Each structure stands twice: as structure tokens, then as C-alpha cells.
Amino acid sequence: MTTTDNARDGVPISTPLPQAPELRSFPDPYDLETPAGAEGWEEMYAYHNRFLESRRAEDSAKTWFRNSLHYPEVSYPFDQVTIDGAFTGTGVTNTRIFALPPAKGLDVRVINGYTYMSAIPSPDQEEQARRAVEFSKRAGYYFQNWDALYGEWETRVTVAIRGVHDLEVPPLSEFEPIERVLEDRGPSQGNQLLASYHRLLEYIDQIWTLHSEFLNLGYTAYLQFLTLCKEHFPEIDDQTISRMVSGVDVLLFRPDDELRALARKAEELGVGDIVRAASTEADLNSGLGETDAGREWLAALEESKDPWFYFSYGSGMYHSHRSWIDDLSLPIQAIGDYIARLRTGDELSRPIKKLQTERDELVAHYRSLLDDEDVSAFDEALGLSRTVFPYVENHNFYVEHWFLTNFWNKAREFSRLLQKWGFWDDVEDIFFLRRAEVEEAIVDLQMAWAAGGKAQGGHYWPGIIARRKEIYSTLTEWSPPPALGPVPDEINEPLTIMLWGITPETVERWLAAQNGDSSNNTLTGFAGSPGIAEGPARVVLRPDQLDTVQEGEILVAPVTSPSWTPVFGRIRGAVSDIGGIMCHAAIVSREYGLPAVVGTGFGTSTIKTGQMIRVDGNAGTVTILDGI
Amino acid sequence: MANYTKKFEELSSGDRALVGGKCASLGEMVQAGLPVPAGFAVTVDAYEDFRDTGDLRQRLLGIVMGADASSNAGLQRAHDEAVALILGRNLASAIEQQIREAYLELSRETALRRGAGDADRIPVAVRSSSTDEDGDAASFAGQQETYLWVVGADEVIAKVRECWASLYTPQAIAYRSGMSATDAAEASKISVAVQLMAHADVAGVTFTVSPRTGDRSLIAINASWGLGQAVVSGEVTPDEYWLSKIGPAVTSSRIASKAHEYVPDPSGVGVVFRDVEESRREIPCLTEAELVQLAEIGLQVERHYGSPQDIEWALEHNVDGTSQVMLLQARPETNWKKRKEEKGKNTSSATAGLLGFLSQATKGNDK
């Protein structure tokens, strides 16, 4: 028997941080130095994202947390639209739409390419009371009509996704169509190009408001059940609570289910060998296009693609993550793996009934431990949590995967037009321009096309883009501190704790690591999925490194994405730097019965690929077994 | 002829009038499938028939009714006189014979199962079993006796008589002297429990609630080598095991260095405190299967009594290699109620505030 202790992360508790003699502060953002070779990084981001010298007194006095959960990588200049959009969505929903009494939005800054955030101070009692009146009316309406509103939300989101997918990028043809002269006499293609770009930006802003629409209401409802469980069962862990609430049939599992179904279909149609031998879509088309059975399978593949292959290899937050639909190599390999498993007699079906029964038994068990007078409050809180949970579990597929895949690809369409007009060589270069700079380029193109001349862009942007690529790569080598500024007196804002996993304990861990007190062969995180596994580590910093993962390795990543699900069939365990209680790595690991430790903070910076490590998903610890 | 002894498995809670509260409750536990150490009751009838022999009943009543409850010396005299009467009178041979047979049967069966010990001299505990409704309160008042490590039929019979005599402590006499003769006769009915002493390799305590937080979904087990005294008295640091009631399944464990243990004295009477050999000190004293078995028994006890329990147990190994748990004592764990009242103290005011706004909104403000 081993010595273990379940990691317990917080019921949001208000614990004053103990005073210690060592440095009780994180670095001042104004004292951080630019890494050599990254001079001029500031130009990659809009002024509103930067620490401005004249605001030093105010901004130095605040605590800034790095948002490594959502934005672990260096921001590309254009990709800042998703970051600003997401914070705008949260802010407007809390502050202006629902008037959440105790919490508003966050300030956002970028330093050396990494995103930091600082909560706007909680309103005073008088303002909270005023907000509470509004909140009751507004949130009350949502809670009372949740299912109908969620159904309507799915429609609105789908319309936005189709909208961005179908958004027309005018071709800037030699002559305006004749209809413009004879019939509508509307705006020129040049006018439309700029309008279309504005429409793209409108969509991204809108989608983040949609993303936030139910989010904090949903998490607050879940927090109620979480708090109730922890009051009655002080030692219950978060994953047990979430298992009582979570659905067994969430959208994030659907893409993987599609791959399993395609594997079965290939076997039924007798084309399994051809599918297994293929590694690209071209292989599939040439191997299967000639027979009826082959064409039937290809049709089924097409059917699955929309929307289920709009599934990012990463979080979807960066244009570079790409999706299954952009590169079918992972799904094709996974279908092949599933065919092989079918041939060994594996049914490949997820035990949905069993999971459902387990969930019901778990609820019945905890419910039976309550005193009679506590049962109805438990039932109500559980009922409300289950009402809100489909949104909590599914919004991610709609927004981060399906919408953003289309959004980034639409930006690439604009880029291709600019590329055609000599602005740059590589379609991906557009992402090194800020959103306002893309507008400048479009105006340049508009003028040149209108006049029949040549745009200035090709003389201007390539040098800037080349320099920014150097800066970008330098910044990826820099290690951003987890927090900046003074250590807060207390951390008790419950949504911060729940969404970002920032607790008094994590802050202490960061301080210890900063001051060199932490042991460097053991990392502590949250017990994401039970079990213990040992194996060689594979550090995967970016989704495009995913194909390096070998059978039997332990995946170590900043944060994992649901679209990595098929890879979980190959690994023995998972470790992530980041993870709150809704963490995907934990959900998928439990689904696959793999041990996982999430939220280790320093996993990817401490562990090296090839090192033997032990993941203890019961205790929430990762041990490096050998040094390199 | 009356039945002067009853095996525990023949008893249930309805037999309180016949065998007293302690025996009836042991019988009830056996009926519920709980593994209490084997034994038998010496029934109320045994004592009633004993004191109905000759003028004993009359004389004892006279002593009680005539005692001066306000005088310590008087009570002490009454006590000495009553004890001398009870221990001095002959016991009817039918009563003596039945107790002797019941003990020898228990002793021989046990020796066979253990594969050790003198078959006619297996140690037992002899305890009073009060018929009082408030029998447990009687034990606090010191009106009842317990004798441990009693060996051999003669000694058992002698201790049964001492239990009977324990009805006449000075306090008990004072208590009954103010009653009517009928009530006093009723209040001086007594049964005696004769129960095996556990011969434990491992012993400890099970809490069917977390003693650190009052969490009712957990079970805590503390255990160490040897007999239970070491754990209960805190003379060793026991292994600490935690289980979830779901399963039940072991969630964590902390293995202590267990340097000492109590074991039965080789003479058969009493215990000795000795060093644990090096090879056993650092290893877990329970297997996972044993932990699960203990947890299941704990849950059974909790269900039986309807509230979280603090349970003393011992684990015996049999000669055939099997092992069996013996429940020694179960008490309600009382702190959890108090902790339950404090629930919510770990919820921050920020969280409580936010949830307050939530419940206002969900309670439907119907606009």
C-alpha cells in the first residue's frame, strides 16, 4: 500500500495568506525586461493592451494573474482579437447585461507577448444592492426559462457560425459586375471588402458575448451545488461533485464518436484495409473513389465532417492550432487505429448506460448520507446544476471549435486576396498584423484596386512581418511569471477560483517556486483522474507537436484540447500545467481511465521529454524518477 | 427446569427482560450479522432462582430497605453484608452445571478454531447485563462489573456471582433504598454476559464519519499490531487508513512505525506489552481486503444504529488461515452533529454573498 493523500482543492475559502519573511511580491510589470532580440514587441499589440508608463502608479499597485488557462502561448498580433473579445464578452455580460452584483470584468494587459488580467474591484455595498435588484430580474428570467433560452442560443450561435462561413470576400475583379451599372448601383467591391472585414470583426465580438451569455450564471449555479456538497461532505473532491452533475453525452465526445462510427462503417463496407492504409485525404479519395462501397464510405466521411471535424487540435484560441477539417491526418490515423481495435474484438462503444448508472448511484449514495431536512436543498441545487450543465459542457464546441475554425479560415481568405495583390508571400502572414493594421492594409488595397494601380503593402509589410516573426520566436523562449505585482491580501472571489483555479494555495505555490523553495522533482497539482502510471514523458507545447507522441508515453502539455482525444488511446497518463475544475484533460482522462494530474503550474517547464515520470492521479502529484 | 444460559445468537432485543440490555444488544448484533465475539448470557432467571433459594431474597430486601442512605458507613455495612450473603450461599447445581457446560462448549470450540490454547481454559470476559431501561446509565454509575481474562469454569462461575454481588455497591443500595419493595426487586434483576476475549493480531478503531471534518461519506480506520489497548490508549501511533463509503474503497493511507504491541500473556491470563520485531514495524498491519471488510462491517453497524459510530474491533487469525473481525464496542460518534452545526464556516462570505444573489434570482421574482 502506498502513502497517498487526496489532493483537495478549495471550496472557495477566504483565507488570509500567512505572512512569511521571504519576498511577498511577484515582479512589478514595469520592471520586467524585454528579452534580448525581442525589442519592439510592443508594436505587435494595441496600446490598450500595454502597460503605459504614465499609468504606472495605478497598474503597479494591482495584482495581475497570467491567463495561462486560455492563453498559454505568445499572442499573435491578429489573434489578440480572440483575447480582447473574450474579456469583452465576460465583462459586458457581468457588468452591463446581468448586473452580477459582486463581480465586474477584468483589465487585460500583454507583456512580452503573454496575457495578464486583473479583476476590476468588486462594487461597494450600495452599488451591489442596486445591481442586485437588476440581477434578480435579469438572471431570474434566464433561470426560469433556461431550456428555451439555451435552445434559442444554439440557433443564434449556429447562425453566426454559418454567417462567418458564408461571409463573402469580394474578389476585386477587373470590372464591377454589369448589374451594378444596370440594376442595383450598390457599393463597389472595394467598399464591400472593408465592410466584409468589419463584419468579420463583428462576428468575433458577437460570438464572445454569446460565449459568455450563460457562462457565469451556469458556473454560479454549479457553485451552489459545489458549496452545498462541500458543506455536507467537507472532504469530497471536486471531480466527484462534477461527476454527479455532468452529462454522459456531451458534444466534445461527439467527434471521437464519429471516428469510431466511421471505423465500424469501413468494416461493414469491407473497405477497412484501404482506410487503414491511408494517411491523407488524397489516399482515401484515390483508394475509395472507384467503388460503390468506397464512395458510400467517403459520403459518410463528408457527413461527419460538418460540423464534427471543425474540431481544433488546440484550444482553438490561436489561428495556428488548426482543426481536423484543415488536416485530416489525425482523424485518418485514429480511424485506422479504431479499425485495428475492432478486429481484436473491441466493441469501441462508450459505456453510456454504465456511466449513467454510475452517476445515478453516486448521487443516490451521497443523498442517502444527508439528513432528511437537507435532502430537498440538495435536490434543488443538483437540479439547477443539471439544467445549466449542457451549456457549460457544450458551449466550448460551438464557440472555440466550430466557430473559431471558420473564423480563422475566413481571415485566411482575406489574406489570400492580399497575398494575390503582393502584400506578402505566406497566407499565414496576416496573423502578424494587428486587427487595425489589417484594416489599413485593406484600405491600401481598396485604393490601389480602385485606381488601377499597385498597392503599397508589398513594400511595407514584409519587413515588419519578418521582424515580428523573430520577435515572436524570441518571446516563446521567455518564461512568463504566473503573476505580477503585490500578493493579494485574500483571494475569495468565487468565480475566479472556479474558472481559473487561482486559490490562496496556488499563489503560495507560485511564490515558493519563484523563491526557489519548491522541490524540483515533485510537482503538485489537482487529482484530475484517478490511478497511477509511470512512463517516459512527452512534452507537447503546441498542437503541431502532437504527432510526436509515442505509444506508452505520458503526455505533458500546458493544457490539452478535447480534439486530442484520439491520442489518449496511445498514452499512459496526462499532466497539464493548467486546469480548473472544468478541465478537458481531466474529463477525457477519466473517460479513458487514464491517470491525470492537472494544474501543476510548471509541468512543461520542469519535465523534459524522455524523462521517466510517475503520475499519481489519486494524490495529484507528478514525480520525476530520473534526471537528465 | 429453567434455561439458565442462552447463547448470544439465540437472543434479540426483545429479550431484555430475560438477559438484560447488554446481552440483548449483543444478540441483536449477531442477528444483524455483526461479528461480535461469541458468548452466552447467564439469564435473569439464574439470579432470580438463586435468590429465591431459602430466605435470601427476604434478607437482601431487608438490607436494602433498612439501610441509612445518608450514612456512608451504614451503606458500606449494608454492602458488606449483602456481598457476604451472595458469595456465601450455595448455588443450585442446575444453575452451576448449565454455566459450566456453556463455558466449556465455548472454550472448546474456540480452541479448535484457533488451533491454540488450553481447550478448557480459554479466556473470557464476564460482565453484568442490567435489565434497567436505562442500563447504560447504570454502568456509568458504577453499578456493574466487568472481569477480563477469566479462565476455567470455576473461575467463570465465581465471577458471575461477583457480578450479582455488584448489585449491592453502596451507591446502588442508596439508589434503591428509596424505592418501593416491588420497584427495588425489579431494579435488582440482573443477567451476566460471558464473552470470549479477543485474541487479536491486529486491533483498532473504525469511525464511520471523518473525525477531522465530520464528513459522513468517509470512513477512518486506525489500527496497530496486537490487542486494541495500544490504539485506544494512544500508546502507539497507529496506521491511518481512509476509505470512501462508496465501494467502500481505500482512498489514502499513512503507515506508521509501530514499535510496541499488547499480546495475551502466555499464561492465558492478562496481557503483556512488548516490542514489535523490526520486520513488522513499518509494514501496513491490514490488507486492502481486510480494510474493505472492516469498512463494510462499520457501515452495517452505522445502519443498525442509524448514526455514525466509533467502533472498537479486533482481528483474529484462525488456524485454517482465515481471519475474522470481532466487534468489541460501538458508540455513537457524537462530534459530527456539532461539526454539522458549524457547516458553512468554510464558505467564504464572498461565496455566500454570490449564492445569496443567486437564490434571490432563482426564487423567481416573477417579473
Give backbone dihedrals phi and psi of B258, rounded to 5 degrees, phi first.
-105, 95
List the alpha helices (DSSP H) in chain B: 16-31, 44-51, 56-66, 72-88, 93-114, 135-140, 153-165, 170-177, 181-187, 229-233, 278-281, 288-305, 335-341, 349-362
Give the Cα separation of B156 and B121 in Å (integer): 10
Examine residue B317 and state whether it is found in any structural domain, yes or no: yes
Mean pLDDT of chain B: 87
pLDDT at A297 over 90: yes
**Using the beta-carbon criterion (under 8 Å), do B215 and A2 form an inter-chain contact?**
no
- Chain A: nearest CA to B158, how far in angstroms? 47
Statement: residue B290 has pLDDT above 90: yes
* CATH (domain of B305): 3.30.470.20
**Tens of pLDDT, residues B134-184:** 544 444 344 567 888 899 999 999 999 999 998 888 888 888 888 888 888
| B362: nearest CB among A122, A143, A235 | A143
Cβ contacts of A144 on chain B, cutoff 8 Å: 364
B364 in contact with A, Cβ within 8 Å: yes
With respect to residue B361, please indicate whether it lies within any of the assigned structural domains: no
Rounded average pLDDT over A423-441? 98
Mean pLDDT for the stretch of residues A560-579? 80
Across A33-42, B116-125, B222-231, which has the greatest mean pLDDT?
Answer: A33-42
Phi, psi of A522 (to 5 degrees): -130, 130
The model's pLDDT over A255-266, given as tens digits with 9 standing for 90+, comes to 999 999 999 999
CATH code assigned at B88: 3.30.1490.20
Task: Please indicate, yes or no, whether residues B128 and B214 belong to a single structural domain of this protein.
Answer: no
Q: Which residues 330-359 of chain B have a CB within 8 Å of chain A?
A: 340, 343-344, 346-351, 353-355, 357-359
Q: Are residues B326 and B236 in the same domain?
A: yes
Residue B257 lies in a domain: yes
Residues B142 and B258 in one domain: no
> What is the nearest CA distance from A144 to chain B, expressed in angstroms?
7
Cα–Cα distance, B170 to B143 (Å, whole number): 9
CA nearest to B36, candidates B263, B301, B220:
B301
Longest CA–CA span in chain B (Å) reads 89
CA angle A311, A317, A321 (to 5 degrees): 55
Chain B residue nearest residue A235, CA to CA = B215
Give the domain-ending residue among B164, B196, B228: B196
Q: pLDDT tens-digit profile of A338-374?
A: 999 899 998 887 777 888 888 999 999 999 999 888 9
Q: Are B173 and B225 within one domain?
A: no
Q: Is position B50 within any domain?
A: yes
3-state SS assignment for residue B39: strand
Closest Cα to residue B219, out of A519, A269, A245, A233? A233
Decide: B270 and B149 in contact? Cβ < 8 Å. yes
- Helix B16-31 to helix B288-305 angle (10° resolution) is 140
Q: Is B289 in the A-facing interface, judged by CB distances under 8 Å?
A: no
Asked whether A58 and A301 are in contact (CB, 8 A), the reply is no
Specify the pLDDT at position B133: 56
Q: What's the whole-number mean pLDDT along residues A169-181?
A: 94
Q: Which helix (H) or strand (E) holds A200?
A: helix A189-213
Select from A13, A140, A234 the Cβ nearest to the Cβ of B364: A140
Higher pLDDT, A558 or B76: B76
Q: Is the pLDDT assigned to residue A529 strictly greater than 90? A: no
Predicted pLDDT at A13: 36
Q: Is residue B358 part of a domain?
A: no
> pLDDT category, B264, cuts 50, 70, 90?
confident
Chain A residues in contact with B359 by the CB 8 A cut-off are 224
Model pTM score: 0.78
Burial class (CB in 10 A: 0-12, 13-18, 19+), B356: middle
Q: Please tell me the distance from the alpha carbon of residue A516 to that of residue B272, in angstroms, as a whole number.
A: 51
Is B280 at the interface with chain A, CB within 8 A?
Answer: no
**d(C-alpha A561, C-alpha A316), whole Å:** 9
Instruction: State the count of interchain CB pairs (< 8 A) between A and B.
Output: 135
Average per-residue pLDDT for chain A:
88
Q: Are B253 and A3 in contact (CB < 8 Å)? A: yes
**Helix A215-232 and helix A238-245, axial crossing angle in degrees, nearest 10:** 120
Residue A14: predicted pLDDT? 39
Residues B182 and B235 in one domain: no
From the list A102, A234, A365, the residue facing B350 with the nearest CB is A102
Chain B partners within 8 Å of A619 (Cβ): 252
**Cα R_g (chain A), whole angstroms:** 26
* Alpha-carbon span B206 to A9, nearest angstrom: 26
Inter-chain residue contact A101 with B357, CB threshold 8 Å: yes
User: Are the Cβ atoms of A365 and B361 closer than 8 angstroms?
Assistant: no
Nearest CA in chain A to B285: A1
Task: Give the pLDDT of residue B243.
Answer: 95
Helix or strand run (H / E) with residue B261:
strand B260-264
Question: Are both B168 and B312 inside the same structural domain?
Answer: no
Asked if the Cβ–Cβ distance from B245 to A3 is below 8 Å, we say no
Q: Residue B175 in contact with residue B198, Cβ under 8 Å?
A: no
Asked if pLDDT for residue A514 goes beyond 80, the answer is: no
Return the residue of B nearest to A103 by Cα.
Answer: B354
Do B190 and B243 belong together in one domain? no
Measured in degrees and rounded to the nearest 5, phi and psi for residue B245 equal -65, -20
Owner of C-alpha cell 498584423:
A433
Could you give the maximum distance between any two Cα atoms of chain A, in Å? 86
Q: What is the predicted pLDDT for the residue at A531?
A: 83
Chain A contact set for B340 (CB, 8 A): 371
Highest mean pLDDT among A300-304, A563-567, B246-250: A300-304
Q: In whole angstroms, what is the distance from residue B280 CA to residue B260 CA? A: 10
Q: Which residue of A has its CA nearest to B291?
A: A1
Same domain, B69 and B92: yes
For residue B212, the chain A residues in CB contact (below 8 A) are 235
Q: What's residue A51's pLDDT?
A: 97
pLDDT score recorded for residue A181: 92
Chosen for mutation from B351, B359, B367 (greatest number of chain A CBs closer than 10 Å) is B351
Question: Does residue B226 sit in the same domain as residue B99?
Answer: no
From residue B123, give the alpha-carbon distance in Å to each of A148, B10, B86, B316, B342. 73, 22, 24, 14, 46
Q: For residues A43 and A34, give the distance between their C-alpha atoms in angstroms, rounded to a whole number.
A: 13
Cβ within 8 Å, pair B288-A1: yes
Q: What residue numbers bound the domain in which B33 lies?
A: 5-196
Domain boundary among B180, B196, B212: B196
Rounded distance, CA A35 to CA B131, Å? 86
What per-residue confidence (pLDDT) applies to B271? 84
Model confidence band, residue B365 (pLDDT cutoffs 50, 70, 90):
very low
Q: Which of B172, B196, B220 is the last residue of a domain?
A: B196
Confidence of residue A162 (pLDDT cuts 50, 70, 90): very high
Strands B124-130 and B190-196 come out as antiparallel
Please provide residue A244's backbone torsions phi and psi, each rounded to the nearest 5 degrees.
Answer: -70, -25
3-class secondary structure for A206-275? HHHHHHHHCHHHHHHHHHHHHHHHHHHCCCCCHHHHHHHHCCCCCHHHHHHHHHHHHHHHHHHCCCHHHH
Residues above pLDDT 90, as percent of chain A: 62
So what's the pLDDT on residue A9?
Answer: 35
Peptide bond into B332 cis (omega under 30): no
C-alpha cell at B183: 420497584
Q: Can you tell me the distance from the alpha carbon of B332 to that of B43, in angstroms, rounded to the nearest whole number?
A: 27
- Give the mutation candidate from A94, A136, A367, A386 for the B interface (greatest B CB count, under 10 A): A136
Contact B217 A236 (CB under 8 A): yes
Q: Do B245 and A101 touch (CB under 8 A)?
A: no
Residue B215 touches partner A, C-beta closer than 8 Å: yes
* b/e per residue A318-345 (b: at least 16 CB within 10 A): bbbbbbbbeebebbbbbbbbbbeebeee
Instruction: Note whether residue B364 is domain-resident.
Output: no
**pLDDT: is A242 or A447 the higher one?**
A447
Same domain, B173 and B255: no
Closest Cα in chain A, distance from residue B219 (Å): 11
What's the number of CA atoms in the CB half-sphere (13 Å) around residue A459? 5
B175 and B285 both lie in a single domain: no
The answer to whether position B320 is within a domain reads yes
Residue range A456-462: average pLDDT? 98
Q: Does A2 sit within 8 Å of B217, measured CB to CB?
A: no
- Min Cα distance B22 → chain A (Å) is 28
In the prediction, which pLDDT does B22 show? 85
Statement: residue A10 has pLDDT above 60: no
Coil, helix or strand at residue B195: strand
- B257 vs A: CB within 8 A: no
CA distance A485 to A600: 22
pLDDT at residue B34 above 50?
A: yes
Say if residue A30 is exposed, middle or buried (CB neighbours under 10 Å; 0-12, 13-18, 19+): middle
- Co-location of B28 and B146 in the same domain: yes
Structural domain count of chain B: 2
Cβ <8 Å between A11 and B351: yes
Of B254, B360, B361, the CB nearest to A3: B254
Interface ipTM = 0.77
Q: Considering the domain boundaries, does residue B349 fall inside one? A: no
